[in-house]
């Protein structure tokens, strides 16, 4: 792929991940490989800074196929990031239909790693992602790809206050294991993979599952951790003893539901993923980050160190 050849439309660019992806496409070496980045937003004021970086920020009515298609015209790549909304399933498939109406030849869906679960029956939020993937595959587009993302390291900050108050990491995971990934790693991976500039020089990436890694090992291997190993890493990062305690499904649901920053679709999906972690039913994944990137991933150990003041127990 030649430089400055791709015009990308990013849905939900006013979300944390959408904003970060747009930012990475517009800065550093990646800027050379995108001729235009269009940031689609429901609340464009959240993305004013992207305009200063060179993005075209557009407002659309997420419930209107016509509004979406008009906003997407001229793009040759549609990056679909599902919105944090209880209607995310229908809204996301409408985005795909709008992309088809706008004659966009390539689409990429950011999905969830739980879709590859080994469990036959999954909850309604994961089912929505399954339906999104099926809908994308049924679209008559020249190219498409699906990127399934592991839980984010940043989501662990939702439990920081509890750690401060009790000195205990309480997660609803039993003795299951999880491989959280840093949001900036996801954004960097997407921006580079879609530019075709990774080591494999793919012009369009195949379906992938993206989980966490460990830059301290430097070998590209994924890093899965159980609750006890995470509490040990927190103890090392904060310099204070942090224990682990399994949290019941109901108690974890109550904790997340009280967070005003989370939509029901967000905390509901988190709980369904935690249930799969507890049951050890998340799909096994092959590390693929360094197939595309020229740097190792950011480890959860580093995340805990960088956020030690947020996690450190205050009662000790």
Tally of domains within the chain: 2
Domain assignment present for 1: no
Q: Do 189 and 249 fall within a single domain? A: no
For residue 134, is it within any domain?
Answer: yes
**Residues 170, 128: one domain?**
no
- Residue 223 domain flag: yes
Is 105 found in the same domain as 199?
A: yes
Verify that 275 and 193 share a domain, yes or no.
no
Within a domain: residue 189? yes
Whether 78 and 198 map to the same domain: the answer is yes
Any idea what the CATH number is for the domain that residue 221 is in?
A: 3.90.25.10
Residues 75 and 167 in one domain: no
Name 73's Cβ contacts closer than 8 Å, sequence gap at least 6: 102
Based on the domain organization, do 62 and 187 belong to the same domain?
yes
Residue 198 sits in a domain whose CATH number is 3.40.50.720
Q: What tokens were used for 73?
A: 């015209």
Residue 110 sits in the same domain as residue 255 = no
Q: Are residues 87 and 172 in the same domain?
A: no
Residue 288 maps to a domain: no
**Residue that terminates a domain, selected from 166, 192, 210:** 210
| Residue 62 maps to a domain | yes
Q: Assess whether 202 and 253 both reside in one domain.
A: no
Same domain, 164 and 36: no
Q: What are phi and psi of 303, to 5 degrees?
A: -60, -45
Same domain, 246 and 119: no
Asked whether the beta carbons of 186 and 213 are under 8 A apart, the reply is no
Q: Give per-residue pLDDT as tens, 264-299.
A: 999 999 999 999 999 998 765 566 666 666 677 788
120 within some domain: yes
3-state secondary structure the chain: CCCCCEEEEECCCCCHHHHHHHHHHCCHHHHHHEEEEEEEECCHHHHHHHHHHCCEEEECCCCCHHHHHHHHCCCCEEEECCCCCCCHHHHHHHHHHHHHHCCCCEEEEEEEHHHHCCCCCCCHHHHHHHHHHHHHHHCCCCEEEEEEECCEHHHHHHHHHHHHHHCEEEECCCCCCECCECHHHHHHHHHHHCCCCCCCCCCCCCCEEECCECCCCCCCCECCECHHHHHHHHHHHHCCCCEEEECCHHHHHHHHHCCCCCCHHHHHHHHHHHHHHHCCCCCCCCCCHHHHCCCCCCCHHHHHHHCHHHHCCCCC
Nearest C-alpha neighbor of 224 from the set 286, 147, 311, 163: 286
Range of the domain at 128: 6-150+183-210
Instruction: Tell whether 81 is covered by a domain.
Output: yes
- pLDDT tens digit sequence for 64-100: 898 899 999 999 999 999 999 999 999 999 999 999 9
Digitized pLDDT (tens) for each residue of the chain, 316 residues in all: 445 578 999 999 999 999 999 999 999 988 988 999 999 998 888 898 999 999 999 988 877 898 899 999 999 999 999 999 999 999 999 999 999 999 999 999 999 988 877 666 789 999 999 999 999 999 888 889 999 998 999 999 999 999 999 999 999 999 999 989 999 989 988 998 888 765 544 555 567 777 776 555 544 456 789 999 999 999 999 999 999 999 999 999 999 999 999 999 999 999 999 999 999 987 655 666 666 666 777 889 999 999 999 999 997 5
């Amino acid at each position: 792929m030649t430089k400055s050849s791709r015009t990308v439309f990013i849905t939900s660019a006013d979300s944390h991940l959408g904003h970060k992806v747009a930012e990475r496409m517009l800065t550093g070496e990646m800027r050379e490989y995108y001729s235009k980045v269009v940031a689609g937003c429901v609340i464009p004021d959240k993305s004013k800074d992207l305009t200063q970086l060179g993005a075209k920020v557009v407002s659309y009515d997420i419930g209107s196929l016509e509004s979406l298609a008009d906003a997407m015209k001229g793009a040759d790549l549609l990056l679909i990031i599902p919105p944090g909304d209880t209607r995310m399933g229908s809204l996301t498939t409408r985005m795909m239909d709008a992309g088809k109406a706008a004659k966009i030849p390539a689409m990429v869906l950011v999905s969830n790693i739980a879709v590859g679960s080994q469990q036959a029956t999954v909850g309604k939020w994961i089912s929505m992602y399954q339906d999104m993937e099926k809908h994308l595959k049924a679209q008559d587009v020249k190219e498409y790809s699906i990127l399934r993302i592991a839980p984010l390291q940043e989501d662990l900050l939702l439990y920081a206050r509890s750690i401060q108050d009790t000195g205990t990491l309480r997660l609803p995971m039993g003795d299951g294991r999880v491989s959280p990934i840093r949001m900036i790693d996801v954004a960097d991976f997407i921006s580079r993979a879609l530019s075709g500039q990774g080591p494999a020089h793919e012009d369009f990436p195949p379906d992938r599952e993206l989980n966490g890694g460990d830059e301290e090992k430097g070998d590209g291997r994924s890093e899965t951790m159980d609750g006890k190993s995470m509490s040990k890493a927190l103890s090392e990062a904060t310099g204070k003893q942090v224990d682990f305690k399994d949290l019941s499904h109901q108690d974890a649901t109550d904790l997340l539901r009280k967070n005003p920053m989370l939509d029901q679709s967000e905390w509901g999906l988190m709980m369904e993923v935690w249930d799969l972690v507890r049951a050890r039913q998340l799909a096994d994944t092959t590390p693929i980050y360094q197939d595309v990137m020229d740097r190792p991933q950011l480890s959860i150990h580093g995340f805990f160190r960088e956020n030690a003041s947020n996690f450190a127990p205050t009662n000790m």
